[in-house]
Copies of this chain bind each other. A is one copy, B any other.
Amino acid sequence: MAAPAAAPNPSPANDKRERILDAAVQVFAQRGFFQARVSDIAREAGVADGTIYLYFKNKDDLLISLFEDRMEGIIARFRLELDRLSGPAERLHRFIVMHLDLVEHQPQLAEVLTVELRQSSKFMREYRAPKFAEYLGILVDILESGRVAGVFRPDIEPRILCRVIFGALDEVSLVWSSARREKYAPAEAAREIWNLCARGLLTEAPPPASRRPRRRRETPPTDP
């Protein structure tokens, strides 16, 4: 969607654009945006340095495009999956699990999308990362609908809470990525975060033993 500097059209060309984006994910994840050389990305992509500038205006634009492009796919996948669930609690649980799944299976992409974007936010304060907003929007919608439906506490503030949950997910992801998988499995983290959310958000909070069954039906199991 975002128009590149002077984007060639044919499908083999798009293939090249794709290869550059993939290479950028690898290189940005490994070296960080500022320490990554454009020529590193070119080599990784198997193209000449100059070719990158046929598809992206400059190094910044490459990062932004990468972000927009990859987020688009992720958002679509998330939406597809979440739309199959009805209860806000299930959907929140699913969101948490999917986010950490992504981190587990595409750690480099995850790293770039969170850490690197944040780091470059310094020099692109104006770049509002619309796709990131959209991603958070999914979370906001879940929280808001849950609040309205009476499943979540009425006093929650979705705009803030979405950041709280995202921050938790992001930090946990970062540690897992950079600790190189030593400390815990993403599934553990997912359980921990979900538990925090579940027992903190639900209106039916004080489930007397008798009421537990009902909550069980409404909230996904803690250990999936």
Are A115 and B119 in contact, CB atoms less than 8 angstroms apart? Answer: yes
Are A183 and B159 in contact, CB atoms less than 8 angstroms apart? Answer: yes
Given contacts A163-B172, A167-B172, A172-B164, contact A156 B215 (CB under 8 A): no
User: Would you call A49 an interface residue if the criterion is a C-beta within 8 Å of the partner chain's C-beta atoms?
Assistant: no
Question: How long is the Cα–Cα vector from A161 to B175 in the complex, in angstroms?
Answer: 12
A193, A201, A204, A206: which has the most chain B beta carbons within 10 Å?
A201
Residues of B within 8 A of A189 (CB): 160, 163-164
Are B115 and A192 in contact, CB atoms less than 8 angstroms apart? Answer: no
Number of copies of this kind of chain in the complex: 4
Residues of B within 8 A of A146 (CB): 201
User: Would you call A89 an interface residue if the criterion is a C-beta within 8 Å of the partner chain's C-beta atoms?
Assistant: yes
User: Would you call A125 an interface residue if the criterion is a C-beta within 8 Å of the partner chain's C-beta atoms?
Assistant: yes
Q: Mark A143-174, 1 if CB is under 8 A from B, else 0.
A: 10010001111111101110111111111101
User: Would you call A4 an interface residue if the criterion is a C-beta within 8 Å of the partner chain's C-beta atoms?
Assistant: no
Residues of B within 8 A of A203 (CB): 150-154
User: Would you call A121 an interface residue if the criterion is a C-beta within 8 Å of the partner chain's C-beta atoms?
Assistant: yes
Q: Mark A85-97, 1 if CB is under 8 A from B, else 0.
A: 0000100100000
Q: How large is the interface on A (under 10, 10 to 19, 20 to 34, 35 or more residues)?
A: 35 or more
Identify which of A28-36, A71-79, A101-109 touches chain B: A28-36
- Chain B nearest CB, measured from A177 CB (Å): 10
Are B161 and A192 in contact, CB atoms less than 8 angstroms apart? Answer: yes
Are B214 and A204 in contact, CB atoms less than 8 angstroms apart? Answer: yes
B32, B165, B196, B202: the one within 8 Å of A161 (CB): B196
Residues of B within 8 A of A195 (CB): 153, 155-156, 200
Given A146-B201, A152-B203, A161-B201, 6 further pairs, Cβ under 8 A: A115-B121, A161-B192, A165-B168, A167-B168, A205-B206, A206-B206
13 A–B contacts from the bound complex (CB under 8 Å): A34-B119, A115-B118, A121-B178, A157-B192, A163-B168, A164-B196, A168-B171, A197-B201, A198-B205, A202-B218, A204-B207, A204-B218, A205-B215
